Amino acid sequence: MLTLTEWSKLNPTPLQSGVVEIFSRENPVLERLQFQNVKGSAYKYNIETTLPGIAFRDFNQGYTESTGVINPVTESLTIIGGDSDFDVAQIAMGTGDNDTRAVHDAMKAKALTLSWLKTFFDGDSGTNPLEFDGLNQRLTGNQVIDAGDNGGNVSMELLDLLVDSIAGTPSLLLMNKAMRREILKLARNSSVLSIGRDYFGREVQQYAGVPIGIVEDDASGEAILGFDETLGTNDETTSIYAVKFGPDALHGLQTQPMSVRDLGEIDSKPAHRTRIEWYSSIAIKHPRACARLRGLIPIA
């Protein structure tokens, strides 16, 4: 099980390597999320929900039989992709070159990664059967923490509760920039804040040793984790998520590493076409691998 960047190193091509780096740089989830290759269009696995009973016994006594509860889950892989065309005349006339084409391909890759990231949170296969279910559809019960009946301010107590709702230590806290500013203001004079580095060597803030991943806008320019969620009577709230990545926690699924293909000049028009396509989804194998703190109000 490898991250996208690690998968690209196994079968490196200039096109694929460049696109994968863009995916990872623009997406704090895909920078760290590991992917498992699976055969077919779906992946089946089991989630432990209740462990079997255990007891002490006296001499000549028996045990009461007890069986744990396992819920079977099936994840369907989805298809995401797009084509990027570059007119051959731009190269012939000197108004563009392969570097310019690479810029257009990079824009397509950025749009794809932001669309995938939005689906990671807001995906709803009930509304759109072509996409996978995101965290907002999957998280229930104790894995959803409310900041008050009608929303409220973020606090260190709520953040600690969010972190502790994950089994073990979270891999990442995901939020918008406004929430990061609030956290930095709350914890500036405490030892709970530290600085780490991501895969690309960039500095990232850490809360209680957990890196903070910033989620910004989607491909259309709308905030992915904006203040547009409703809790009670308040329809201007946002959420912070804690996630733990790993083979027994949250990981990605794919039939194969992302495909990036140069189709050459196409017949329908005089343009070179690059096609990016990926068959993917996510699996949450532990009931406490992810959690959501919702109802956070904007800064006054």
Residue 299 has pLDDT above 90, yes or no: no
Residue 131 lies in a domain: yes
Mean pLDDT of 143-155: 95
- Angle, CA of 243, 249 and 252, to the nearest 5°: 85
Which of 12-35 are b and which e, b meaning 16 or more Cβ less than 10 Å from the residue's Cβ?
Answer: eeebbebbbbbbbbbbbbbbbbbb
145 assigned to some structural domain: yes
Q: What is the predicted pLDDT for the residue at 15?
A: 57
pLDDT at position 8: 57
Domain range holding 274? Answer: 2-49+70-296
| pLDDT, mean of residues 108-128 | 92
Average pLDDT of span 8-31: 68
CB atoms within 10 A of CB 66: 11
| Token pair of 260 as six digits | 């990036």
In a domain, 63, yes or no: no
Query: pTM, whole model, 2 decimals?
Result: 0.86
> 198 to each of 7, 29, 72, 225, 291, how far by Cα in Å?
18, 11, 35, 21, 22
Q: What percent of the chain has pLDDT over 70?
A: 88
* pLDDT above 70 for 45: yes
**Residue 153: is its pLDDT beyond 60?**
yes
* Any domain includes 31: yes
d(CA 231, CA 150): 5
Q: What is the CATH number of the domain that holds 172?
A: 3.90.1690
Q: Please give the mean pLDDT across all residues of the chain.
A: 87
Domain-embedded: residue 59: no
| 60 domain residue, yes or no | no
CA nearest neighbour of 17 among 4, 29, 30: 4
Q: How many separate helices (H) and strands (E) can be counted in the chain?
A: 8, 16
Round to whole Å and give the CA distance between 267 and 240: 48
Residue 54 has pLDDT above 70, yes or no: yes
Average pLDDT over residues 120-125: 96
Q: Are 233 and 129 in contact (CB under 8 A)?
A: no
Q: 145 or 105: whose pLDDT is higher?
A: 145
pLDDT at residue 90, as a whole number: 79
> Is 28 a residue whose pLDDT tops 70?
yes
Which residues, in sequence order, are CB contacts of 25 under 8 Å at separation 6+?
A: 31, 200
More confident residue, 199 or 244: 244
Residue 21 lies in a domain: yes
Domain count, the chain: 1
Q: What single-letter amino acid sits at 19?
A: V
What is the structure's pLDDT at 222? Answer: 94
- Answer whether residue 95 is part of any domain: yes
